Amino acid sequence: MELPPISSNPRTIDEIFKDFSSRRTAIIRALTVEVEDFYALCSPEKDNLCLYGHSNQMWEVNLPADEVPPEMPEPALGINFARDGMDRKDWLSLVAVHSDSWLLSVAFYFAFRFSGNDRKRLFSMINDLPTVFEVVSDRKAPKDKSGLDSGSKSKQSVKRTSEGQVKSNSKPADDVYGEDDDEHSETLCGTCGGNYTTNEFWIGCDVCERWFHGKCVKITPAKADSIKQYKCPSCSSKRGRQ
């Protein structure tokens, strides 16, 4: 059955939700049914790549848009860099989380001109769907232990705020960590999203001030010693397009 065409510039809340659903369907297909094709396109040897889901339910892996600023929010940049440095399932789950954030940012980019009640309705419609992360990682929220409300939907394991951000439940730091680990335990790699650990080499971007695993951005300690000012792949790409 052929789906009706979806406007490239949705004008109602229902059209925005339909646009969101179609982009979500495309991304889920890339990360599940057509995952081998997606994996092959994400070679770490290539430049900064993004995963796009389009309103016609098609997906593509491509370089970011040339427009500065872009026409609408851009997906996470450089998803391919961590492909060979992580467990495959973890990498796909990370791309899924980034995709959830992007889908929401696009939906609320279109919905900015609507009233607060309309945006709340859109948020409610979106939040009734499982996140891309839940679908890809096959994680389901636990059922209510009381069993008193078995007919209602369980809470999402990845929480969304009405502003379109994605939040995951953080785990408390282990008591055995030293003071240095406690200070940096919330630091996440800007590429793979992994937590800071003292037994791995990290490098900080002098432009955006984010931190990265050296292996994720292909920087070794020896190479870092010769760099006067380090710019991460995202900042380097932005500077090149100006």
pLDDT digits (tens, 9 = 90+) for 64-76: 877 666 678 999 9
Distance between CA 93 and CA 100 in Å, rounded?
Answer: 11
- Give 98 or 220, the one with higher predicted confidence: 98
pLDDT in tens, 75-101: 999 999 999 999 999 999 999 999 999
- At 140 the pLDDT is 59
User: What dihedral do alpha carbons 55, 56, 61, 65 form, nearest 10°?
Assistant: -50
pLDDT number for residue 184: 52
**pTM greater than the 0.75 cutoff:** no
Share of the chain above pLDDT 70, in %: 73
Mean pLDDT across the chain:
78
Q: How far apart are the C-alpha atoms of 227 and 81, rounded to whole Å?
A: 20
Superfamily of domain 180-242: Zinc/RING finger domain, C3HC4 (zinc finger) (3.30.40.10)
Break the chain into its structural domains and give their ranges.
1-139, 180-242
